[in-house]
Amino acid sequence: MNKKVCSVREAVLEAEKKLKNISETPRLDAEILLSKVLGTTRFALFTMENSCIDENAAELFASFVSRRMNFEPIAYITNEKEFFEDTFFVDRRVLIPRPETELIVEEAVQLLKNIKESDVLDICCGSGCIGLSIKRASDCRLTLSDISPDALEVAGINANRLFPASGGISFVQSDLFENISGKFDLITANPPYLSESDMEEFVVKDLGFEPANAFFGGKTGFEITEKVLSQVNKFLKPEGYFITELGFEGAGFIKEKYCGLELVRLIKDYAGITRAAVFRNFP
Ligand SMILES: C[S@@+](CC[C@H](N)C(=O)[O-])C[C@H]1O[C@@H](n2cnc3c(N)ncnc32)[C@H](O)[C@@H]1O
């Protein structure tokens, strides 16, 4: 039988001490990691403070804490990230979904409210978090596309988890629209949008665990977004919508019109930063 090693409380306190210098939330990190190890919720941990954990659990917890001490993001250690209304599988093949990206989903769900059996394309899909969250709320036919076969594999894992019995999801490996065919009611994108100088500032420091091709958007950061904006109308049904996430500087580059597209609105996040733009195809 497995030896009992220490109590839940002792394990959390010891990990909190170790994580103090590398995390702004050492206690929270320790609790999330231990609840993952014990297969329980953070809330339940409070009720089992004096319970003992066994040798296997202690060993796994120690390995999680040491990965965190090496600055690995919590989501890659636990292989999960909450996004919109679901938990998504993530690993180092995909970007960890960010809360500001949920603004795209909220907007998309509103736009699709009155369209029956819509066709939706999510390019640069990564984990699939945008497209799959839209499908959960609107029951559309969904195409997920990314240049990275690895990312598409992760999107496939999430599609199987969220829609185990359903078809209606296609996967296309594509450099932007290169292999895309058909017309869509709505296209979404969270393209790479960091500039050369952002890459030096952030990726080296904070984002080093995530795939580099998820970030670099060209010299100014807007080059990939601009390319998408110049092509997207060919893949939209008449009056179809396109929503794209923007970097911090993105709003400064956005024009009112692109080949057949007109800007409908800009969306700000809760900090007042413009994070997304909505366009409509006016043929
Ligand atoms: C910022 S991440 C967004 C991932 C996901 N949509 C999200 O919001 O969490 C950008 C994604 O674009 C993909 N990507 C980069 N260049 C691309 C290209 N030229 N064509 C298609 N996808 C590309 C990357 O593989 C990555 O998955």
Pocket test for ligand 1, best of 179, 194, 213 (most atoms within 8 A of CB): 213
pLDDT at 116 (0 to 100): 86
**pLDDT band at residue 2 using 50, 70 and 90 as cut-offs:** low
Per-residue pLDDT at 1 exceeds 60:
no
What pLDDT, in 10s, does the model give residues 47-64?
A: 998 899 999 999 999 999
Query: Which of 3-7, 170-174, 209-213 has the highest mean predicted lDDT (pLDDT)?
Result: 170-174
Q: By C-alpha distance, which of 153, 99, 157 is closest to 130?
A: 99
Instruction: Give 4-78's CATH code, choosing from 3.40.718.10, 3.90.1150.10, 1.10.8.10, 2.30.30.90.
Output: 1.10.8.10
Fold classified for 93-281: Rossmann fold (3.40.50)
Average pLDDT of the segment spanning 262-279: 95
Q: Whose CA is nearest to atom 10 of ligand 1?
A: 214
Residue 216 Cα to ligand 1 middle (Å): 10
Residue boundaries of the structural domains of the chain: 4-78, 93-281
SS3 166: coil
pLDDT at 5 (0 to 100): 85
**pLDDT band at residue 246 using 50, 70 and 90 as cut-offs:** very high
pLDDT at 128 (0 to 100): 98
Q: What is the DSSP string of 232-281?
A: GGGGEEEEEEEEEE--TTGGGT--SEETTEEEEEEEE-TTS-EEEEEEEE
* Residue 191 Cα: closest atom of ligand 1: 10
Residue 70 burial (C-beta neighbours within 10 Å; 0-12, 13-18, 19+):
exposed
* Residue 98 Cα: closest atom of ligand 1: 9
Beta-carbon contacts of residue 25 (< 8 Å; ≥ 6 apart): none
pLDDT at 204 (0 to 100): 66
